[in-house]
Amino acid sequence: MLCGCDARHYGWLRTLGATHEVVAMVTEAPWQHATRVEGVLLYYPSEVFSLCRRFEVDYLVYATPAERDAIERVAPAAHVWQAHWCHGIEGLTAR
């Protein structure tokens, strides 16, 4: 899951598409919510925790600490992430 929806995330989506399944992207912009980018649906940060469980997400990929903070701020109290946080895609493309 990509934790943002700007040009950098779009580039990551294109790069990862050959080797990974990107199941969702995250946006705080209400005008982007529930739209699709290259077939991938955009969700609010408040939906990420349940999406991780539903899609069995392995990685939450973010570009800036603010993106991660936006998601962690709205996560349920005492949450346990099954997905791993990944700052950038460099470690993922080697798979």
Give the rounded percent of residues in the chain with a pLDDT score beyond 70. 97
| Reported pTM | 0.92
Cα 43 to Cα 19, 31, 90, distances in angstroms? 22, 11, 24
Q: What mean pLDDT value characterizes the chain?
A: 93
- Does residue 94 carry a pLDDT above 70? no
Over residues 32-43, the mean pLDDT reads: 96
Q: Quick one: average pLDDT of 56-65?
A: 96
